[in-house]
Structure 1
Amino acid sequence: MSPSASMRETPPGGERAKRRLALVGGSLGNLVEWYDWFIYATFAIYFADSFFPGENPTAQLMNTAGIFAVGFLMRPVGGWILGRAADRHGRKSALTLTVAMMSVAALLIAVAPTYGQAGYFGALVLLLARLLQGMSIGGEYAASATYLTEASARGRRGLGSSMQYVSMTCGQLLGLGILITLQHTLSKDELASWGWRIPFVLGALFAVVVFWLRRRLQETEAFTEVSRADGRGQDTRGTLKALWLHRRQAFLVMALTLGGTVAYYTYTTYLTKYLIGSAGMEKSTATLVSFTSLTVFAVLQPFAGALSDRIGRRPLLITFAVGCTVGTYPIMTALRSASSYWPALGLSLLALVIVTGYTSINAAVKAELFPTGVRALGVALPYGIANALFGGTAEYVALWFKDAGHENLFFWYVSGCALVSLVTYVLMPDTRDATLSQAEAEAESATDAVPGAPAEARG
C-alpha cells in the first residue's frame, strides 16, 4: 500500500483519539436528548388520565399521543433555526443549545399540574414543553447527524454515524430501565399519582451534565475548513436560498425518511402500547419485551453501519424497505396474538432487524448528500418535515384506526410508506464515496494519482 493510501486508511494515533472523543461526546449528548424525548411516550400510559379525564383509556392515550405528535410539528422549525445556526456558527454551538432547551422542557413536564389541580392548564404546560422539545430535537438530529458523520474517517462514516441510533436507542433504553425500576419499587397508584414525574426530573439533570460536556467538544474539520475561508459563502451558508440550490437532495431526504421514520416509531414507541392494548399483555411484560428487543437493536447498529462502509448504503436501505413493505402486516398481526414474552420478543426482534437497514446509516446518507455550507440545514429541514407528517403521527394514526375498529389498516399504512421509500432507494445514487470536505477531496486526488494504489484506499 502506498504511503498516501496508508495515511488515509489509518489516521495517526492523535487523530484517532480526537475522533473517538468526538463520537463519544456527540453520542452521550444525543442519548440524553432522546431520553428526554422518548420518556413522554414511555410514561404516557401512567399520566394520561392525570391530564385528560374520562372513562375511555384509548381516548386518553389519543390525547397524549396528539400532544406527542404536535411536538413533531416544531421539528421542521427547530431544524430550520438550529440547522442554520449549525451551518453558520458551528455544529458544537448548535449541539450545546439543543440540550439546554431540552433540559428546560423536561423540567416543565416534571412540574406540570394535573387536571385535578389546574384543569386543562396542565395539558397546556405539556403542550408547551413538547413544542420546545420538538424544536430542540429537530436541531439535535441534524446537528448530531452532521457532527458524527463529519467527525468520522471517510471509510468509517457508516460506522461512526450509526452511533446516532445507538445513542438514541440507549436513551430510550434508559427510560425503559427507569420505568422497569419504578414498576418494581412503586405501586401502580404511586406511579400514576407522582412516580411518572421522576424520569423527567432526572432528564433535566442529565441534560445539565451534557451541556457541560458539549461545551468541551471540538469543531469538525469540515466546518472549520469552510469557516476559515475569507468570507466565502458567509452570506448564504445555512440559508433557505442555499438549500433551494440543492432541492433535489432535500426531496430525496424526505422520501427516504418516510418509510424509515414510520417503521421506527411503530416498532419502538408504539410497540409497548400495542402489546398492552391489542395483545392484552401485562404492562410490565410489554415493557420488558421492548427493553430486550431495543437492547439487541442498539447492538446491531454499528455492525450494519460498518457493513455499509464495505458494500455501500443502498443495499441496506433496499433490504429494509422490501422487508418492511412485505413483512409489516404478518408481523403486526402475529404480535397481536402474542400474549406471552418469548413470542412477542421474537417478532419484535425480527421487525427491528429489518428496521436496522434504515436506522444504522440514514444519518450518513443524508449528510453525504449535501455540501458543508448547507449540510446541517439540508439534513434538518426535510427530515423534520417528513417526521412531522409521518413519524410523529404514526402512533396517533395507529390509535385512530384502532378506535375506529380498523386496526389492520394501520399495518397497510406502514407498508405503503415503506414502498414509497423503496422506490426512492432504488432510484437514488449510493452516497458512500462522497467527499465531505476539501481536505478529503485533495486526499482522494493524491491517492488516485499514485500508480497501483489499491481500490479500497480510494474510498
Structure 2
Amino acid sequence: NWTVVIGGMLMVAMTTTAFYLITVYAPTFGKTVLQLSTSDALLVTLLVAISNFIWLPIGGTLSDRFGRKPVLLAMTVLTVLTAYPALSYVVNAPSFAHMLETLLWFSFLYGMYNGAMIPALTEIMPVEVRVAGFSLAYSLATAIFGGFTPAISTWFIHITGDKASPAYWMMFAALCALCSTLALYRRANARGQVMQGAV
C-alpha cells in the first residue's frame, strides 16, 4: 500500500505546510521580515489559531454535504492562485492589519482544506491498513513538508531577496495535494471503492 501512503502524504502536504506557515513561522515572519513588534506578531498568530478552529468544522461539514473531492480541489486551486498575491500584499505594505488579513485568508484555506482532508484520507486508506497508513502518511508529510517550512521559507527569502517567496513553498505543497487528490480518487474509483467524496 505504499502508493496510497505516498499519495496520502502528498495530500497532507498542503495541511502541514499551511499550518506551519501560519502558526510556527508567522511570529518570526512578522518580527524579522515585516518588522512588526513581537506582541503584534504573536497576537496575529493567536487570532489565526482561533480562526482555524472555526473553519475546520465548516470544511468538514461542507465536505459531508458536497463531497470531499470538490472541497479539496477548490482549496488547493485557490491556494495556488492566491498565495503569492496575498503574501505580496502584506510585504508591500507591512502592518498589523495587513498581516492579520493575509494570515486569516491562509487560515481559511487551511481550515477548509483540512476539515475535508482528514475524513478523505481516512476513507482512501484500505481498511486493513487504515490506522497505520493514515498515521504514516500524516507523519511523513509533517516531517518533510511542515517541519521544514520555516527553514525553507527563510532560505527562499535569502536566495531570492523576495520577502513574499515563502508563498512558493505553499503553492508547491498545494500543487502536490491537488495532483495527489486527483490521482487517489481516480485510483479509488477504478477499484470500485465507495467514497463519499468521489464525485
Residue in 1 aligned with 2:120? 365
Residue in structure 1 matching 2:17, options 246, 250, 262: 262
Q: What is the rounded CA distance, in whole Å, between the counterparts of 1:287 and 1:311 in structure 2?
A: 36
Residues 319, 357 of structure 1: 8 Å contact kept: no
Residues 297, 356 of structure 1: 8 Å contact kept: yes
**2:148 aligned with 1:397:** no
Residues 55, 112 of structure 2: 8 Å contact kept: no
Q: What is the rounded CA distance, in whole Å, between the counterparts of 1:428 and 1:357 in structure 2?
A: 19
Q: Please report how far the alpha carbon of residue 434 of structure 1 lies from its aligned counterpart in structure 2 after TM superposition.
A: 4.3
**2:176 aligned with 1:420:** yes
TM-score (norm 2): 0.84
CA shift digits 1:177-197 (9 cap, x unpaired) = xxxxxxxxxxxxxxxxxxxxx
Residue in structure 1 matching 2:40, options 277, 282, 285: 285
Q: How many residues align?
A: 190
Residue in 2 aligned with 1:386? 141
In our comparison, the structure showing a higher alpha carbon Rg is 1
SS of match in other structure, 1:281: coil
Q: What is the rounded CA distance, in whole Å, between the counterparts of 2:85 and 2:2 in structure 1?
A: 37
Higher RCO (C-alpha under 8 Å, 6+ residues apart): 2
Residue in 2 aligned with 1:339? 94
Residues 367, 379 of structure 1: 8 Å contact kept: yes
Residues 324, 355 of structure 1: 8 Å contact kept: no
Q: Please report how far the alpha carbon of residue 277 of structure 1 lies from its aligned counterpart in structure 2 after TM superposition.
A: 1.0
Q: Please report how far the alpha carbon of residue 401 of structure 1 lies from its aligned counterpart in structure 2 after TM superposition.
A: 2.5
Letter of the 2:44 counterpart: V
Q: What is the rounded CA distance, in whole Å, between the counterparts of 1:359 and 1:301 in structure 2?
A: 6
Q: Residues 425 and 373 (structure 1 numbering): CA distance in 2 closer, same or farther, change over 3 Å?
A: closer
**2:157 aligned with 1:411:** no
Q: Please report how far the alpha carbon of residue 350 of structure 1 lies from its aligned counterpart in structure 2 after TM superposition.
A: 1.3
TM-score (norm 1): 0.39
Q: What is the rounded CA distance, in whole Å, between the counterparts of 1:325 and 1:364 in structure 2?
A: 23
Ranges in structure 2 where 5+ consecutive residues have no aligned partner: none
Q: Please report how far the alpha carbon of residue 285 of structure 1 lies from its aligned counterpart in structure 2 after TM superposition.
A: 0.9
SS of match in other structure, 1:268: helix
Report runs of 4+ in structure 1 exceeding 4 Å deviation.
430-435
Q: Percent of pairs identical after alignment?
A: 24
Q: What is the rounded CA distance, in whole Å, between the counterparts of 2:195 and 2:78 in structure 1?
A: 27
Q: What is the rounded CA distance, in whole Å, between the counterparts of 1:367 and 1:311 in structure 2?
A: 17
In the TM superposition, what are the counterparts of 1:100-115 in structure 2 within 5 Å? none
Ranges in structure 1 where 5+ consecutive residues have no aligned partner: 1-245, 436-459
Residue in 2 aligned with 1:356? 111
In the TM superposition, what are the counterparts of 1:213-362 in structure 2 within 5 Å? 246-362=1-117
Q: What is the rounded CA distance, in whole Å, between the counterparts of 1:296 and 1:414 in structure 2?
A: 19
Q: Residues 433 and 309 (structure 1 numbering): CA distance in 2 closer, same or farther, change over 3 Å?
A: farther
Q: What is the rounded CA distance, in whole Å, between the counterparts of 1:334 and 1:418 in structure 2?
A: 20
Q: Please report how far the alpha carbon of residue 339 of structure 1 lies from its aligned counterpart in structure 2 after TM superposition.
A: 3.2
Letter of the 2:144 counterpart: L
Residues 8, 180 of structure 2: 8 Å contact kept: no
